């Protein structure tokens, strides 16, 4: 392949990626609901990661003189305290760190595995593709949570283990999506041109296929983040997720549910934070979907 042809080839792929993405970002910015979601997420991240540092609070500090207090402005316990005298505002924020961080990193892991798996399956086609998809099918036989639980038996329940267990399951949907995109991209002429020029399969996959799946991948990634956060919260609620001394919103909600007959605040605040996160993420996901494909409305 000549220099100019290769350069032109690269330009096609890159130009498609940039202009399409830039256009989509423009549409996203003009979507009030999505922008609202982004603002909320930024605030949540700031609050959870910087809040406790800025205010110098310790989620484990038990004050046995201030046990089970309802939210009061005066004593600084704005969200009240739990039955060990720990400040719930701090606990909600530090719990948020775990929930949010796990959500984002597990999604990144899932993305990494899913995009590569899907692109290879789609590009290879034929029997390899069938085999790879059959493998995926097995995991669709039961809800994802079960597999995550099974994996925690293998890896334990440390934060890192949870990260691996969740990422090892949530890559599936992304793989299916990327495979679909790859199948339709495979037939396009610029891929044929690359093949004719002697480009190797891995090179084609990484330089041409993957960059052109950016749009649906971003949309599904945003949906995966909220799925992951929901999944981790569910596990933690059941006691099968985040363990002591760490805490997450799921754990806090479970603690709150246990005391709900007498105290509403340990349940409501973490639940509200979780709900706000999921709402915001949903608006963002919808916004991204509209941004990349405004006709789908």
Partner 1 sequence: MLRYTIRRLVGAIPTMFALIAITFFIMRIAPGGPFDGNRKVTEVVKANLERAYHLDDPLWLQFLRYLWGVLHFDFGPSFKYRDYTVSELIWQGFPVSFEVGMWAIAIATVVGVTLGTVAALRQHSMIDYSVMAVGMTGVAVPTFVVGPLMQIVFGVSLLMLPVGGWDGSLERKIMPIIALALPNIAYIASLARGSMIESLRTNHVRTARAKGIGGWRTVTRHALIGGLVPVVAYLGPATAGIVTGSIVIEKVFSIPGIGRYFVDAALNRDYTLVLGVVIFYGFLIIIANLIVDLCYALLDPKVRYD
Query: Which spans of this chain sit near partner 1 (rule: CB under 8 A)?
Result: 134-135, 137-138, 141-143, 145-146, 149-151, 153-154, 230, 233-234, 237-240, 250, 253-254, 256-257, 260-261, 264, 267, 271, 274-275, 278-279, 282
Q: Is the Cα dihedral 78, 82, 85, 86 positive or negative? A: negative
> Which C-beta is closer to partner 1: that of 53 or that of 138?
138
How many Å apart are CA 211 and CA 214, to the nearest integer?
6
For partner 1, the closer CB: 142 or 203: 142
Q: Report in angstroms how near the CB of residue 145 gets to partner 1 at its nearest.
A: 5
Q: How far is the CB of 179 from partner 1 (least distance, A)?
A: 18
To partner 1, the closest distance from the beta carbon of 143 in angstroms equals 5
Measured from the CB atom, the residue of 128 and 260 that comes closer to partner 1 is 260
Closest approach of partner 1 to the CB of residue 295, in Å? 13
Nearest Cα residue to 117 out of 52, 71, 43, 168? 168
Phi, psi (rounded to 5 degrees) for 161: -60, -40
> How many residues belong to the chain?
297
Which letter does DSSP use for residue 159 in this model?
A: H
CB of 108 to partner 1, least distance (A): 22
Burial class (CB in 10 A: 0-12, 13-18, 19+), 138: exposed
Burial class, 228, CB count within 10 angstroms (exposed 0-12 / middle 13-18 / buried 19+): buried
Residue number with CB closer to partner 1 (111 or 230): 230
Nearer to partner 1, 53 or 141 (CB): 141
């Amino acid at each position: 392949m000549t220099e100019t042809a290769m350069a032109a080839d690269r330009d096609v792929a890159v130009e498609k990626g940039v202009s399409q993405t830039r256009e989509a970002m423009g549409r996203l910015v003009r979507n009030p609901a999505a922008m609202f979601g982004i603002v909320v997420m930024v605030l949540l991240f700031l609050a959870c990661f910087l809040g406790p540092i800025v205010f110098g609070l310790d989620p484990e500090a038990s004050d046995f003189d201030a046990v089970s207090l309802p939210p009061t402005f005066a004593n600084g316990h704005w969200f009240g305290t739990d039955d060990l005298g720990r400040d719930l505002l701090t606990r909600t924020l530090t719990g948020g760190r775990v929930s949010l961080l796990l959500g984002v990193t597990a999604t990144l892991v899932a993305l990494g595995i899913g995009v590569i798996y899907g692109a290879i399956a789609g590009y290879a086609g034929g029997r390899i593709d069938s085999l790879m998809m059959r493998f995926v099918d097995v995991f669709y036989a039961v809800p994802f949570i079960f597999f995550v639980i099974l994996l925690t038996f293998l890896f334990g329940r440390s934060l890192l283990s949870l990260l691996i267990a969740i990422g090892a399951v949530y890559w599936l949907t992304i793989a299916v999506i990327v495979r679909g995109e790859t199948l339709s991209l495979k037939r396009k002429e610029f891929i044929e041109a690359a093949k004719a020029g002697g480009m190797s399969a891995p090179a084609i996959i990484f330089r041409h296929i993957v960059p052109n799946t950016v749009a649906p991948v971003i949309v599904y990634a945003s949906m995966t983040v909220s799925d992951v956060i929901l999944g981790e919260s569910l596990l933690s609620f059941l006691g099968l997720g985040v363990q002591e001394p760490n805490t997450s919103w799921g754990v806090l909600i479970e603690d709150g549910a246990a005391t709900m007959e007498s105290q509403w605040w340990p349940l409501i605040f973490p639940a509200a934070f979780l709900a706000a996160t999921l709402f915001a993420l949903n608006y963002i996901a919808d916004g991204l979907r509209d941004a990349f494909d405004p006709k789908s409305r």
